[in-house]
Structure 1
Amino acid sequence: MAFEPFEKVALIGLGLIGSSLSHVMRREKLAKAISGHARSAATRDRAMELDLADTMHEHAADAVRDADLVVLCVPVGVCGLVAQAISGALKPGAIVTDVGSVKAAVIRDVAPHIPDNVHFVPGHPIAGTEYSGPDSGFASLFENRWCILTPLSGSDDGATARLTAFWKACGSDVDVMGAEHHDRVLSITSHLPQLIAFNIVTTAADLEEVSQQEVIKYSAGGFRDFTRIAASDPT
């Protein structure tokens, strides 16, 4: 069954995930209009140059007005502040989701600011690269990657189903689980490897008797993979 496009999707943040969502929504015609918000004027200007949004806004609240889907593509530590800023501008019946790699903390910070007539369905697309910024996105980022949704107790089943269909239209496989279980699983599969990678790369950099040229020259694929992971955004 063909996906029924959203009338308007608001992307709050146009880094790797936000810009990739824009590209795939354009390609698959998943939204009739896309609005965006970024803190810096340079990012807003670049997003318009790349056609990542039909309109870009300095203030997040302006971006979400009349949006049917709002995606918080910002670091988990600021999701609560963004939710507070957009709360009064959210359209009744809209779906709000996020892309953070931890879910319990996002729910704790965001849920209190979501009006009763708006559906909050947290999400985590398990996809990424070591690159960031509006130029880093590409339409195939989510293809054959898992996206995990962690709806709250009592959440509207229709909103969860709609968001599931959206992520599938982006190319993702979708699973639904509780937030705490998600965080336990991802702490093993994602967060622990990233922590190990940071420590290995830092240790290599601190070995004064080993030159940087030697590290690069004699690195096998495994070490290069660690440096790629360590270079990625931990948020």
Structure 2
Amino acid sequence: MDDRTTASDTPLFDTLTVIGPGLIGSSVLHRARRDGMLARRLIAVDNNPTFRQRVWDLGIADEVTENVAPAVAEADCVMLCVPVGVMGEVAATAIPAMRPGAILTDTGSTKVSVIDAIRPSLRPDISYVPAHPMAGTEFSGPDAGFATLFENRWCLLTPLPETSSDMAVSAVESLWQRCGARTKDMTPEHHDRVCAIVSHLPHLLAFTICGTADDLADQTRSEVLDFAASGFRDFTRIAASDPIMWRDIFLSNRDAILEMLARFTEDAQAMARAIRWADSDYIVDRIERGRQIRRSLIENHQA
């Protein structure tokens, strides 16, 4: 047996601190604990005592605390997995306590607003590498996490030239690849426009459709719930997502979301006209385009 140690066999960091062990944060911890390839020592931070107890009971961290400063003081990498609306506040507490040369990263679903919130607290001796793992479920909290959540999913990196060294970017990229994800770099602005159409707008529509159904007359509403077909059930799965998290996302990425919503509204009105005037060719074309996108997702292992 060859017992030589290779780079991929060695933990990427000595200490990884995850602030906010919800679905994403706890899944990172699960993966780290399962494979041992992310960090030798794992620290979880949360201000919710129930969450802290669950992380401890699950055995996915070596230390669990509510105190940010001591938890980040010896970390090689600090990962912010908190809602985007409080990223700046948490970063302002964590960054002053981080050791020189450490890496800060985040998992926020919006990038421009998160970067703007964190930038005022940055230090020149801390490398900040923003990231966004494109994975999730409708569930939240430490119990929602699992080690394979990121398997074959994309993690988008939006490195900042003024704050991120090539070594830090490579380390964060390697972290997500060791979690099973595929990685790609893009600008924060492009990230927010892409996510507005592929993630944020679908959630907005799901919340809205479920709200429309809930506002129907009592008898019709009851029938909607009784006879919900697969399409409506799919919308309700998305709509079951955490409301505070999605409120923050909508407000943080408002410009890109409103742009995509305006384009969708125009397309929806065009479809309405096609239905009104029995424009079969237009209707079939739109359906075929949807089928092609679905086939592409399946071929790309994203469905």
Which bracket does the TM-score occupy, shorter chain normalised?
Answer: over 0.9
Q: Which residue in the other structure is 2:8 paired with?
A: 2
Match among 188, 194, 203 for residue 194 of structure 1: 203
String of CA shifts for 1:174-228, please: whole Å, max 9, x gaps: 0000000000111111111111111000110111244554223322211111111
- For the 8 Å contact 2:215–2:221, the answer to whether it is kept is no
CA distance in 2, matches of 1:128, 1:177: 20
Deviation at 1:61, TM superposition (A): 1.4
Q: What is aligned with 1:232?
A: 241
Query: How much does 1:4 deviate?
Result: 3.5
CA distance in 1, matches of 2:129, 2:28: 17
Deviations 1:5-54 (A, max 9, x none): 11000000011001100000111212100111111112111211111211
Where do residues 1-235 of structure 1 align in structure 2 (5 Å cutoff)? 2=8, 4-5=10-11, 6-29=13-36, 30-154=38-162, 155-210=164-219, 213-233=222-242, 234=246, 235=249
Alpha-carbon separation, structure 2, partners of 1:208 and 1:62: 55
* TM-score with structure 1 setting the length: 0.96
* More displaced 10-residue stretch of structure 1: 123-132 or 146-155: 146-155
Work out which structure has the larger RCO, using CA pairs closer than 8 Å and 6 or more positions apart in sequence. Answer: 1
Which 10-residue stretch deviates more, 121-130 or 152-161? 152-161
Q: For the residues of structure 1 that align with 2:194 and 2:90, how far apart are their CA atoms?
A: 26
The answer to whether the 8 A contact 1:3-1:165 is kept is: no
> Normalization by structure 2: what TM-score?
0.75
Q: Distance in 1 between matches of 2:80 and 2:160?
A: 17
Contact 2:102/2:126 (8 A) holds in 1: yes
Higher Cα Rg, which structure: 2
The code of the aligned residue for 1:191 comes to: H
CA distance in 2, matches of 1:3, 1:95: 21
Spell out structure 1 runs of 4+ moving beyond 3 A: 209-213
Distance in 2, matches of 1:43 and 1:81, equals: 20
Q: Which has the higher helix share?
A: 2
Q: Deviations over 1:99-121 (max 9, x none)?
A: 11100001000122121101100
Distance 1:69 1:217, change over 3 A: same
Deviations 1:145-202 (A, max 9, x none): 0000000123211110111111001000000000000001111111111111110001
- The alignment covers a number of residue pairs equal to 235
Q: For structure 1, list consecutive stretches of 5 or more residues without a partner in the other structure.
A: none
Structure 2 distance, partners of 1:160, 1:3, is: 20
SS at match of 1:46: helix
CA RMSD of aligned residues (A): 1.3
Distance in structure 2 (CA, Å) of the matches to 1:116 and 1:131: 37
